[in-house]
Amino acid sequence: MKVCMVGTGYIGLVSGACFAEIGHEVVCVDNDTQKINMLNKGEIPIFEPGLGEMVKKNVRAGRLSFTTDIRKGIEQSLFIFIAVGTPPKASGEADLSGIEHVATEIGTAMVEYRIIVEKSTVPVLTGRRLRTMIEKSCTRDIEFDVASNPEFLREGAAVNEFLCPDRIVLGVESKKAEQRLLELYKPINAPKIVTDIASAELIKLTSNAFLSTKISFINAVSVLCEKTGADIVKVAEGMGMDKRIGRAFLNAGVGYGGSCFPKDLKAFISMSSELGYDFRLLKEVERINEDQMLRVVKKAEESLQYLRGRTIGILGLAFKPNTDDMRDAPSITVIKALQKAGAVVKAYDPAAIERAKKMMKGIDYCRDLYETADGVDAIILVTEWDEFKQMDLERVRRTMRKPVFIDGRNVFEPKKMKDLGFIYCGIGR
Ligand code: UDX
């Protein structure tokens, strides 16, 4: 089947490549000429395991192409997926101008039946707005369907999650769109849930909000663990054994970041308020997350008495391992707080240094973790890369000026670290 994917960000590029991989003919569109030129040369603008090879393979097979010409995509494809960015405005509300622009282009270029599918995360009822916008710009009376097919993929595992998802959500307004979308997804063996459009939009928003809530919940409990001598890892394990709760997303740490949770939660709170509901529970989820990032800075300060003039080594800058994504990364908040307190910051990340350099100045960016540890008064581990899990701890301990190790992701066992001579602080242990 023929697919046009508008927007070649994380979601658009991964979804486009994966649709080609399962046999469809896909044209990916973006108005960023530089990006399209890169993609046409086989260069991938994002760090995503497995994506580069998949793109090259499908381009060679003639199933995947890239263009800046949206009209071409609209003319030749039955499905037009919209995967453009919906960045937050100052109020937290999602900015839908990108979607509006695409809707106008579709309305003007469409000459026969098309299924226009929301792939970006959008506020509930955007589907309805999309229909009105397309109708307004349509000069002829053409039948079309709007649908919602939210994406749940996680950075770093996106390809696999697209091809083997927990579920596929299809929000539709007609039987025709339902049948076509089911056919499009036929090669993917996963449960498919068909709903109305608003429910599909809400499934995406509430899934992210609920996962953020799980993380803030366990982070709040970690404070109680520290006050009582309980171990958050054991508490999470015991809670997680209850099938109704589940162990996933109960890892206490420096808080959640990334391109989705912080932004989507803000947009969800703002959307709820517009609909007349003050979602205080989620406001508290946000507040706990902000506090959590600063708790590791407090721990460093408590262990060192003061931070002014101290050198702190940050291990991990990306918002999570296996990505170079720095969007809303907890490392930014941690580093800003350290610099504000007068500390000197050294930092290393296996993938995100170049991006970090563009965002944060005044940091001594290091080539590896050992260079980072050399001569520091404390280490704060912010991102749990495998490379850090396997570090030579004795070597690290020997080169540090003071052996303070703040483990913001509970990577190491407290007893082992103490036996090695570290002044060790995990989260909630
Ligand atoms: C998330 C959702 O998981 C995905 O379904 C949605 O499509 C996009 O947003 P992503 O942002 O790629 O995906 O990362 P994810 O692996 O979910 O982690 C988000 C943040 O939560 C990271 O900063 C991570 O470190 C943090 N996290 C996750 C925790 O602090 N504890 C946990 O137990 C799990």
pLDDT band at residue 212, thresholds of 50, 70 and 90?
very high
Side by side, which strands form the sheet with 404-407? 363-365, 344-348, 311-315, 378-381, 404-407, 423-425
pLDDT band at residue 48, thresholds of 50, 70 and 90?
confident
Q: What is the pLDDT of residue 325?
A: 92
The residue-averaged pLDDT of 191-218 equals 97
Of 38-42, 130-134, 363-367, 375-379, the poorest mean pLDDT is in 38-42
Q: Is the CB of 217 under 6 A from ligand 1?
A: no
* pLDDT tens string 93-118: 889 999 999 999 999 999 999 999 99
Q: Is the CB of 6 under 6 A from ligand 1?
A: no
CA distances from 321 to 61, 324, 372 (A): 32, 8, 18
Taking CA atoms only, the protein residue closest to ligand 1 atom 19 is 256
Q: Which two tokens stand for residue 386?
A: 């495998």
Q: Is the CB of 258 under 6 A from ligand 1?
A: yes
Looking from the CA of residue 249, the nearest atom of ligand 1 is 33
Q: At 35, which helix (H) or strand (E)?
A: helix 33-40
37 C-alpha to ligand 1 centroid (Å): 31
pLDDT band at residue 42, thresholds of 50, 70 and 90?
confident
pLDDT at residue 402 is higher than 90: yes
Q: What is the pLDDT of residue 93?
A: 86
The C-alpha atoms of residue 356 and residue 365 are separated, in whole angstroms, by: 9
Taking CA atoms only, the protein residue closest to ligand 1 atom 28 is 249
Query: Which residues, including other chains, have CB under 8 Å from residue 248's CB and lie 6 or more apart?
Result: 240
The residue-averaged pLDDT of 56-73 equals 96
Contact 216, 192 (CB under 8 A): no
Residue 390 carries which side chain, given as an amino acid letter? Q
256 C-alpha to ligand 1 centroid (Å): 7
Q: What is the pLDDT of residue 88?
A: 87
Q: What is the pLDDT of residue 225?
A: 98
CA distances from 388 to 302, 364, 412 (A): 24, 19, 10
Q: Is the CB of 152 under 6 A from ligand 1?
A: yes
Residue for token pair 């932004």: 263
394 C-alpha to ligand 1 centroid (Å): 31
Q: Is the dihedral of CA 210, 212, 218, 223 positive or negative?
A: negative
Three-state DSSP state, 231: coil
Q: Is the CB of 320 under 6 A from ligand 1?
A: yes
Query: Which residues, including other chains, have CB under 8 Å from residue 285's CB and lie 6 or more apart?
Result: 209, 212, 213, 216, 265
Looking from the CA of residue 153, the nearest atom of ligand 1 is 7
What region, left, alpha or beta, does residue 417 occupy, with left being phi > 0 and alpha being psi -120 to 50 degrees?
Answer: alpha
Q: In this structure, what DSSP letter does residue 254 have?
A: S
Q: What is the pLDDT of residue 421?
A: 98
pLDDT band at residue 76, thresholds of 50, 70 and 90?
very high
Q: Is the CB of 253 under 6 A from ligand 1?
A: yes
Q: Report residue 379 CA to chain centroid gap.
A: 25
Tell which one of 261, 266, 409 to mutate to probe ligand 1, the residue whose CB is within 8 A of the most ligand atoms: 261
217 C-alpha to ligand 1 centroid (Å): 14
Q: What is the pLDDT of residue 109?
A: 94
Q: Which domains does the chain have, with CATH numbers?
A: 2-194 (3.40.50.720), 208-425 (3.40.50.720)
pLDDT band at residue 139, thresholds of 50, 70 and 90?
confident
Q: Is the CB of 101 under 6 A from ligand 1?
A: no
Residue for token pair 């850090």: 388
The C-alpha atoms of residue 373 and residue 388 are separated, in whole angstroms, by: 12
Taking CA atoms only, the protein residue closest to ligand 1 atom 16 is 154
Helices assigned H by DSSP within 277-412: 280-304, 330-340, 353-359, 369-373, 386-389, 393-399
Taking CA atoms only, the protein residue closest to ligand 1 atom 15 is 154
Residue for token pair 């395991």: 49
The C-alpha atoms of residue 385 and residue 389 are separated, in whole angstroms, by: 7
Taking CA atoms only, the protein residue closest to ligand 1 atom 13 is 154
* pLDDT tens string 281-319: 999 999 999 999 999 999 999 999 999 999 999 999 999
240 C-alpha to ligand 1 centroid (Å): 17
Q: Is the CB of 251 under 6 A from ligand 1?
A: yes
* pLDDT tens string 322-351: 888 999 999 999 999 999 999 999 999 999
The C-alpha atoms of residue 365 and residue 266 are separated, in whole angstroms, by: 31
Query: Which residues, including other chains, have CB under 8 Å from residue 118's CB and lie 6 or more apart?
Result: 82, 99, 126, 127, 130, 146, 147, 148, 149, 150, 201
Q: Is 225 a catalytic residue?
A: no
pLDDT band at residue 47, thresholds of 50, 70 and 90?
confident
The residue-averaged pLDDT of 115-144 equals 94
The C-alpha atoms of residue 223 and residue 331 are separated, in whole angstroms, by: 20
Q: Is the CB of 47 under 6 A from ligand 1?
A: no
Residue 304 carries which side chain, given as an amino acid letter? L
Three-state DSSP state, 336: helix
Taking CA atoms only, the protein residue closest to ligand 1 atom 5 is 152
Q: Is the CB of 256 under 6 A from ligand 1?
A: yes
Rg for the chain, CA atoms, rounded = 23
Q: Is the CB of 316 under 6 A from ligand 1?
A: no
Q: Is the CB of 285 under 6 A from ligand 1?
A: no
Contact 334, 349 (CB under 8 A): no
pLDDT band at residue 92, thresholds of 50, 70 and 90?
confident
Catalytic annotation, pick one of 4, 18, 28, 260: 260
61 C-alpha to ligand 1 centroid (Å): 33
pLDDT band at residue 177, thresholds of 50, 70 and 90?
very high
Q: Of the candidates 213, 356, 259, which has an alpha carbon nearest to the alpha carbon of residue 14?
A: 259
If you count them, how many residues does the chain have?
429
The residue-averaged pLDDT of 142-155 equals 95
Looking from the CA of residue 215, the nearest atom of ligand 1 is 31
154 C-alpha to ligand 1 centroid (Å): 7
pLDDT-above-90 percentage for the chain: 94
